[in-house]
Structure 1
Amino acid sequence: MKRQDFRSVHRLRVRWAEVDIQKIVFNAHYLTYADIGMSEYWRALAMPYEATMQALGGDIYLKKASVEYHASARMDDVLDIGMRCTRVGNSSLSFECGIFAGDRLLVTVELIYVFADPVTQTSRPVPQLLRDTILQFEGGADMVTLKVGDWATLGEAASAVRKAVFIEEQGISPDIELDALDSTAVHAVAFNRLGMPVATGRLLQDAPGEARIGRMAVARVLRGQRWGRAILDALVDASRERGDDKVILHAQCSAEGFYRRAAFEVVGAPYEEAGIAHITMQLALAK
């Protein structure tokens, strides 16, 4: 087993509370690491667990867990937790977890889950959509579909993500978040395999040759999978295709690094907008 065998890999650092009297990670914590890896697997599928199970009409219960120890982890070690599905049966799902320090395999964990009725906890067949999604993910397929269009086409989906992020999570007033500019903007929305919108953004044109990207939002439980970057890239491409010279955006200061990695540069000093610290950034578009 190698780290490269896993498409879903999550990195964490061993904490002091996880080390025992032998100064190595207490054995039971490796099951916690595997559980973290399982949570990250659902994130990689673009499937928020609770909403997904509600949509599928069931839930997944752990039936069996087995752990094999090869070497020990110590405090402050950086570990990579790899998770992959090895088999989808009629009602069961088998997963394999590899816990690595660099390229060194420390622990392997085998997990068997059963898809079941959440009330009676009696097994049910794994839904075909879930079966297909897992198999396609393990085969390297993209987990989201990106759509670019107008407000009439994508407004309902974009609104769902923006309401959850800006209004419910960040406490921004609906009077500020929703405005008349939506009807004139180009919108991008990423959908998961269940058709749920998971990320969005919009593109405006403030002046000839000058575009503005805004309302960038990714569902809270699905962040860190580059779907925000996919939305950003799609909007930049749309701006370039219509002949704009540059793209500006009002970034929340907490997201400045995200936009810097996409080649945006800071313009001016930070300021407050909707009660949140912002910074203006811009990207010159090559012709």
Structure 2
Amino acid sequence: MQRQDFRCFHRLRVRWAEVDIQKIVFNAHYLTYADCAMTEYWRALALPYEASMHALGGEIYLKKASVEYHASARLDDLLDIGMRCARVGTTSLLFECGVFAGDRLLVSVELVYVFADPATQTKRAVPPQLRAVIEHYEAGGEVVELRVGDWTTLGRDAARLRTAVFVQEQGIAPELELDALDATAVHAVAYNRLGLPVSTGRLLQPAPGEGRIGRMAVDRVVRGQRWGRMVLDALVQAARARGDALVTLHAQSSAEGFYRRAGFETEGAPYEEAGIAHVTMRKALP
């Protein structure tokens, strides 16, 4: 087992509570590390676990866990936990996990899951959609599809995701979140391979030659996987394609760094909008 065998990694630092009297990581914690990496694996597949399993009509249950120890991790070590699906069987899935300190393999873990009916916990065949997503990902494929269009085409899915993020998660009033401008905006929605929306945003044109991006939302469970950046880049490209020379946006202050990394610059002082701190940002389009 080598580091390059894995596409999905979860990084963590060993905490004081995880070491034993020998001042090394207590052996049972490696299964917790593997479980954390398993969560990251679903995120890398753009599959919010609960919603995805509901769509697939089942759940996966751990059948067997095997751990082999090669070397010890110690307090404050930075570990990279690799996770991959080695095989999809008729009703089972075999996952392999490697715990690495740099390129050095410390622990290897094998996990066997069974796909089953959540009510009876009886085995079911692994759904073809899940098999396809995993095999596509492990082969290096892209796991989301980006669509750009109008409100009539994408509005239902965009509204569903925006409601979950802005109304339910952030507490913004529904009448402030959905407005008449949606009907004239360009919308972008990224879908996972089960057809569920995972990120969205919209592009307005408040003045000739100026685009304004807003309503950027990413499903909470799959954040940090570049699905938001994919939507942002698509909206910037849509503004450029129609001849806009400038794109502006009102960024929540907590997301300022995200937009800076995409080439936006802050303009003016912070202010409050819908009860949340915002900053205005802009990007010139060559």
Aligned mates of 1:154, 1:121 — CA distance in 2: 36
- 1:150: how far off? 0.5
Whichever residue aligns with residue 59 of structure 2, its letter is: D
Residues 1:79 and 2:86 aligned together: no
Aligned mates of 1:59, 1:225 — CA distance in 2: 23
- 1:180: how far off? 0.7
Whichever residue aligns with residue 203 of structure 2, its letter is: L
Aligned mates of 1:158, 1:149 — CA distance in 2: 11
Aligned mates of 2:132, 2:119 — CA distance in 1: 25
Aligned mates of 1:130, 1:207 — CA distance in 2: 45
- 1:164: how far off? 0.2
Aligned mates of 2:121, 2:149 — CA distance in 1: 43
Partner of 1:2: 2
Residues 1:32 and 2:32 aligned together: yes
Partner of 2:95: 95
Residues 1:151 and 2:180 aligned together: no
- 1:4: how far off? 1.9
Q: Deviation per CA, 1:18-57, whole angstroms, max 9, x where unpaired? A: 1111111100000000000101111111111111111111
Larger mean Cα displacement after TM superposition, 114-123 or 128-137: 114-123
Report the secondary structure of 2:114's partner residue.
Answer: strand
Report the secondary structure of 1:182's partner residue.
Answer: helix
- Unaligned 5+ runs, structure 1: none
Residues 1:256 and 2:242 aligned together: no
- Unaligned 5+ runs, structure 2: none
Aligned mates of 1:10, 1:213 — CA distance in 2: 31
Pairs within 5 Å for 1:65-144? 65-144=65-144
Q: Cα RMSD over matched residues?
A: 0.7
Whichever residue aligns with residue 170 of structure 2, its letter is: Q
Partner of 2:210: 210
- 1:258: how far off? 0.4
- 1:141: how far off? 0.9
Partner of 2:177: 177
Q: Deviation per CA, 1:166-194, whole angstroms, max 9, x where unpaired? A: 00000000111111110110000011111
Q: Deviation per CA, 1:147-177, whole angstroms, max 9, x where unpaired? A: 0000011000100000000000000001111
Report the secondary structure of 1:272's partner residue.
Answer: strand
Aligned mates of 1:216, 1:27 — CA distance in 2: 42
Whichever residue aligns with residue 72 of structure 1, its letter is: S
Aligned mates of 2:146, 2:236 — CA distance in 1: 14
Number of residue equivalences: 286
Partner of 1:53: 53
- 1:58: how far off? 1.1
Partner of 2:229: 229
Report the secondary structure of 2:233's partner residue.
Answer: helix
Normalised to the residue count of structure 1, the TM-score between the two structures is 0.99
Partner of 1:188: 188
Report the secondary structure of 1:159's partner residue.
Answer: helix
Partner of 2:282: 282
- 1:68: how far off? 0.6
- 1:264: how far off? 0.5
Report the secondary structure of 1:122's partner residue.
Answer: coil
Normalised to the residue count of structure 2, the TM-score between the two structures is 0.99
Q: Deviation per CA, 1:74-102, whole angstroms, max 9, x where unpaired? A: 11111111100000010010000011111
Report the secondary structure of 1:263's partner residue.
Answer: coil
- 1:5: how far off? 1.4
Aligned mates of 1:109, 1:133 — CA distance in 2: 22
Whichever residue aligns with residue 278 of structure 2, its letter is: H
